[in-house]
Amino acid sequence: MVWDWIPRNLGMIGGLLGEHVVLALLPVLIGLVLAVPIGWAAAGNRALRGVLVPAASVLYTIPSLALFIVLPAIIGTRILDPLNVVVALTIYTVALLVRSVADALGAVPSMVVAAATAMGYRPGRRFVSVELPLAVPVLVAGLRVAAVSNISLVSVGALIGVGGLGQLFTDGYQRNFPLEILTGIVMVLLLALVVDGLLVLIGRVSTPWTRVGANA
């Protein structure tokens, strides 16, 4: 019975899942931390924005497999180092989020910012307590795209030997065993679904004001 394969390999699947989560989400966290100040700078300065946003787009056009392979030559890692995948996905996340952050901050009503300034907020404090919270909905939308596409992209890493659940694809293909591949696909989809749902939830909880008056 082929279905036996799943229960017999639960431990292995769980291990790969854990690896997958780390490889996909660590870059989201690092990317967020990097993208907020960059996006903030881009939102405040037109010229800077004209450079940063297109540059981020160009980064995003680099194919993942190509990036995984070229990175070792640039950052001096070994070719099978998981760090390659983390760095590559961090680059994508930053590229995606810089635009989101810049757009989100740009969309904060200027009257609100002016009012906060008039009440005596200094720029740094104003950013943290006024602009950033109001930018959360757009930011969360960006994070969702980044997280979901990272979860899907990690599996390409299997081609260079570091791919979390993606290793079920290469292994299943080499052994001519479709069930293993199918298991991998379903696990990746479920993981994406759960992470996406969690991000939606975090977005809701952190922006209670967006839910009142929604029926206006």
Q: Which of 63, 109, 124, 208 binds another protein (CB under 8 A)?
A: 63
Q: Is 206 in the site for another protein (CB under 8 A)?
A: no
For another protein, the closer of residues 2 and 118 by Cβ is 2
Which residues in 79-108 contact another protein (CB under 8 A)? 96, 99
Q: Which one of 7, 61, 119, 209 is in contact with another protein (CB under 8 A)?
A: 61
Radius of gyration of the chain (CA): 20
Find the binder of another protein among 40, 52, 102, 169 (CB under 8 A): 169
* Residue 111 binds another protein, judged by CB under 8 A: no
Select 40 or 157, whichever has its Cβ closest to another protein. Answer: 157
CB closer to another protein out of 121 and 177: 177
CB neighbours of 26 closer than 8 A, spacing ≥ 6? 86, 90
110 is a contact residue toward another protein (CB under 8 A): no
Is position 9 an interface residue for another protein (rule: CB under 8 A)? no
Least distance CB 117 / another protein (angstroms): 25
Which residues here bind another protein, judged by CB under 8 A?
A: 53-54, 57-58, 60-67, 69-70, 73, 96, 99, 141-142, 144-145, 148-149, 151-152, 155-156, 158-160, 163, 165-166, 168-170, 172-173, 176-178, 181-182, 184-185, 188-189, 192-193, 196
